Structure 1
Amino acid sequence: MNSPDVCATTVALNDDESSRLAQVPDGAHELTDTLQCELQAGHPGSHMALGQAGLEVAWWLRWSTTERALITVDDETGYCEATGRPVDSDPSDHDDWLCQLPAEHFGAHSWQMSAVGRVPSEANQQKLIDMAYELMERRR
């Protein structure tokens, strides 16, 4: 079974957007100059892409031919609450995945589409390494 395609539209960040995203405390990803829309291909209306995620809030860029804005999304302002499992997930993994898109997004949920690749920030890379070592130590 094939997963729905992610929208292939990209946008270059302007200097103001790049500067604002670089100032997000505890940024989860390495910043890039270009973002890719994370909604399902063929969606109506504005494009949306995660610019940066901090500990308590994520900054999304919403853009179209007539508007462009950095918006914040957190647990109160609305992430999609849908859960499910990717078609190609490991059959032994029984955990549902939470959709990582803002509430009321068009089309498929994030776990139904191929992910838009992101590189964790240097600080988050170290946290992931530390968590892996902790897990290995507990399994000994």
Structure 2
Amino acid sequence: MIMEEGGCGAWQRVPEDIVMRLDDVPGAAYEVPSEVTCGLQEGHPDSHMAVLQGWGNEEVWLSWSAPRTVTAPGCRAEGMTCLLPTGHQGHHHVIMADMVEDEGPYWVADRADLEARRAGVAKG
């Protein structure tokens, strides 16, 4: 597994009963992984989190200190496409969904931070 720079990267096996249950969700967006790494920013407080499945505007997340699943809408703060659930701790992990060759995802505090980061990437 490759850990993205700035990401937590803590590893967790997904319980088999959860994999089997989420593989059959109507309209499922993903193939449920048997192992995940935490998608939050390095040094985050509280539990680790990784997305397991999505459909429509809902996603199922594995949250662990002890494994458990959480159903929550994805974070769309300030109209950004954040790869974490609503109410997450720390910075947003965003992609520019309307950009074909985006350099992201980016760890940002808010939209102004994203724009400054992208302007620096464009110049560099």
TM-score range, shorter chain: 0.5 to 0.7
TM-score (norm 1): 0.58
Equivalent residue, structure 2, for 1:73: 72
Asked which structure has the greater CA Rg, the reply is 1
| Bigger strand share | 2
Q: Is the 8 A contact 1:63 1:69 kept in 2?
A: yes
**Runs of 4+ that moved beyond 3 A:** none
Mapping of residues 79-98 of structure 1, within 5 Å: 79-83=74-78, 97-98=80-81
TM-score (norm 2): 0.65
Partners in 2 of 1:69 and 1:12 — Cα distance?
12
Higher relative contact order (CA 8 A, sep 6+): 1
Q: Do the aligned partners of residues 4 and 103 (structure 1) sit closer, same or farther apart at CA in structure 2, a change above 3 Å counting?
A: farther
Partners in 1 of 2:88 and 2:5 — Cα distance?
14
Equivalent residue, structure 2, for 1:125: none
Name the Cα RMSD after superposition.
2.1
Percent identity between the two aligned chains: 34
SS in 1 for 2:46: coil
Mapping of residues 97-112 of structure 1, within 5 Å: 97-111=80-94, 112=106
